[in-house]
Amino acid sequence: MAVFLRYYLLINASIIQSSALGPVQYVLTASDLHPTSPSNLLCKYADDTYLLVPASNSSSIPQEIQHITNRATANNLKLNNSKSQEMIVHLLHRIKHFPYPTTAIPDIVCVDKMNILGIIVSDTLTFYHHIFTTLVAIRARSFYALKTIHAHGLNGSALWDVTRTTLVSQLLYTCPAWCGNLKADDTKRHQAVMHTVGPYG
């Protein structure tokens, strides 16, 4: 005789984490989230949301944050301030200490670089940190893994196929979107990193 037991769990959030429906649920939940000021812009991709505010309208930031918080609460969500960051974008490359505005957002840390969809962008819209932290780290980790599988007998075209689908694809991730904004020195450094992995460099 078979015995079936049923367990019922209460869902206390509108988006179920670690589920196949999570990203779709977020897209549906955030689809009608719009900024309160027409001068501001909300960019949403998957489960990431970016609020862009021009300097002329910086006084609206607290209101926008409160609006997002209220919108999250209404949808049984919570804005996690510990995972939120503020970055003030400026083009004063030659000034070492930029005078940040005093209207900081409570409980949200202000940073000089931000990871945006896997790309590290600095507050001066440069990609120096992305090349010298992300790409170099990826290259080091992948080289170690490739040397390990090479020592276990993978050679020739098979080894290059693995290199191309792992290391090269990671190094070229979204490259057309940011490579054109590199300075001459950063371009040379990026090419030096690519040159170490084969003909793609």
Residue 90 lies in a domain: yes
Residue 76 lies in a domain: yes
Please give the residue range of the domain that contains residue 53. Answer: 22-111
179-192 burial: b if 16+ Cβ within 10 Å, else e = eeebeeebeebbee
Residue 119 lies in a domain: no
Mean of all residue pLDDT scores within the chain: 79
Residue 1 and residue 3: Cα distance in Å, rounded? 7
**Alpha helices (runs of H) in 76-135, residue ranges in sequence order:** 128-129
Q: Are 137 and 86 part of one and the same domain?
A: no
Q: Is the pTM of this model over 0.85?
A: no
Q: Are 97 and 134 part of one and the same domain?
A: no
Number of domains in the chain: 2
Q: Are 97 and 34 part of one and the same domain?
A: yes
Q: Are 86 and 62 in contact (CB under 8 A)?
A: no
Residue 9 lies in a domain: no
Q: Are 100 and 151 part of one and the same domain?
A: no
Q: Are 71 and 106 part of one and the same domain?
A: yes
pLDDT given for residue 136 in this prediction: 76
pLDDT given for residue 104 in this prediction: 61
Q: Are 98 and 139 part of one and the same domain?
A: no
Q: Are 99 and 165 part of one and the same domain?
A: no
Beta bridge partners of 44: 49
Q: Are 44 and 103 part of one and the same domain?
A: yes
DSSP structural state of residue 45: E
pLDDT digits (tens, 9 = 90+) for 32-76: 889 999 999 998 877 788 999 998 888 888 899 999 989 888 888
Residue 185 lies in a domain: yes
Residue that is last in its domain, among 111, 142, 160 = 111
**DSSP H or E stretch at residue 43:** strand 41-45
pLDDT digits (tens, 9 = 90+) for 94-107: 555 655 565 567 78
Q: Are 142 and 106 part of one and the same domain?
A: no
Residue 133 phi/psi, 5-degree rounding, is -115, -60
Q: Are 139 and 88 part of one and the same domain?
A: no
Q: Are 105 and 146 part of one and the same domain?
A: no
* pLDDT lower than 70: segments of the chain: 1-20, 92-104, 196-201
**Which residue from 34, 68, 69, 41 is spatially nearest to 57, judged by alpha carbons?**
41
Residue that is last in its domain, among 111, 146, 175 = 111
Q: Are 132 and 54 part of one and the same domain?
A: no
Residue 12 lies in a domain: no
